[in-house]
Every structure is written in C-alpha cells, then in structure tokens.
C-alpha cells in the first residue's frame, strides 16, 4: 500500500530497533506498553510498519489470541506525521490481514476509540474478552486504574 511517498508494509528484522524506539517514546508517556527489541523480534510477523524516505514513521501489530480473536496493539505514529490518516491506514492494513482468517473478531484497547469506530469497530465492555488477553496488563503502570476503552470489529 502506498500513499504519496509513504509505504505501508510487513515489518522485517531491520525494523526492530526503530519500532522499539517509536514505542518507547510513547511508553514513557504511558500511552502504550514498551516492547523490548527481543520481544518485537519474536513477534515480528505480527508487525506492520509505515516508511517514508527510508525512515520508519509508524507501526502496529495484530496479535492472534486463538479462537478467531485478534488484537490491534502497539499502534504508534511518529508525532511529525500524526493527524494525516496514517494511524487509520495501519489499522486498515491489519484488518485486511485479519480478513484472511475470517470469520474472526478484532479488538483493541485504546484511548482513541473514534479512530477505530470510523473503521467499523464498536465500543464493547472489557469483560467480554477472555482472561488470556489481560496477560500483558501486569506490565502496565496503569494496571489498577485502566482507563482505555475496548472496541471490537466482527468480520463475518
């Protein structure tokens, strides 16, 4: 997928450190969870990235929880490129990936429900999801005070 000079593509090994650094900046602001480089490398097949002039400017990942349940996670856009639809395009790319496994459900825990709802997600209660999706929450500084919203897309 290409928009002007921005290319959205599957992540490759040489992207690992750039993904890590992009996420780390927002993790310091407690907007998402940090991902150590070895964790990103291990889950590399889940990641997509956006690249402009050879620089990684956005990323996102689709995690497979089994039972036809996927999560959009680690979504980040370099602040210099925010507000131009790139975050939405990354989520759209991940939805296309999930569609290969349809019927399935794709969810996200987010501070930006509007972005997801424009793409067809709807708000749901967090209690809808099985306990296994909360395994990473123990690493979150807001674990006892989670203010993210849950959104869900059902792909028939």
Ligand X SMILES: CC(C)(COP(=O)(O)OP(=O)(O)OC[C@H]1O[C@@H](n2cnc3c(N)ncnc32)[C@H](O)[C@@H]1OP(=O)(O)O)[C@@H](O)C(=O)NCCC(=O)NCCS
Stretch touching ligand X by CB under 6 A, among 5-13, 24-32, 38-46, 136-144: 24-32
56 binds ligand X (CB under 6 A): no
CA 125/CA 118 separation, integer angstroms: 18
The bridge status of strand 104-110 relative to strand 69-77 is: parallel
| Bond from prior residue into 103 cis (ω within 30 degrees of 0) | yes
114 binds ligand X (CB under 6 A): yes
Closest residue to ligand X in the complex (CB):
87
Smallest gap from residue 109 Cβ to ligand X (A): 7
Return the number of the residue (84 or 132) whose C-beta is nearest ligand X.
Answer: 84
69 binds ligand X (CB under 6 A): no
Q: Supply 60's token pair.
A: 């996102």
Q: Residue 51: CB partners within 8 Å, gap ≥ 6?
A: 6, 7, 8, 9, 57
Return the number of the residue (103 or 112) whose C-beta is nearest ligand X.
Answer: 112
Return the number of the residue (2 or 156) whose C-beta is nearest ligand X.
Answer: 2
Q: Supply 153's token pair.
A: 């897309």
Stretch touching ligand X by CB under 6 A, among 9-17, 81-89, 99-107, 121-129: 81-89
* Closest C-alpha among 86, 81, 136 to residue 109: 136
Write out the residues near ligand X by the rule CB under 6 A. 26, 31-32, 75-77, 82-88, 108, 110-112, 114-115
């Amino acid at each position: 997928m290409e928009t002007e000079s921005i290319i959205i593509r599957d992540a490759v090994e040489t992207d690992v450190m750039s993904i890590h650094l992009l996420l780390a900046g927002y993790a310091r602001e407690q907007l998402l969870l940090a991902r150590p480089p070895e964790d990103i490398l291990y889950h590399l097949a889940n990641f997509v990235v956006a690249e402009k002039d050879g620089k990684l400017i956005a990323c996102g990942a689709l995690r497979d929880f089994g039972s036809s349940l996927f999560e959009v996670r680690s979504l980040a856009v370099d602040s210099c490129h925010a507000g131009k639809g790139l975050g939405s395009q990354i989520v759209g790319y991940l939805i296309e990936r999930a569609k290969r496994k349809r019927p399935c459900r794709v969810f996200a825990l987010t501070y930006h429900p509007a972005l997801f709802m424009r793409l067809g997600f709807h708000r749901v209660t967090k209690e809808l999801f099985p306990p296994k999706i909360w395994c990473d929450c123990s690493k979150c500084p807001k674990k006892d005070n989670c203010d993210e919203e849950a959104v869900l897309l059902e792909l028939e």
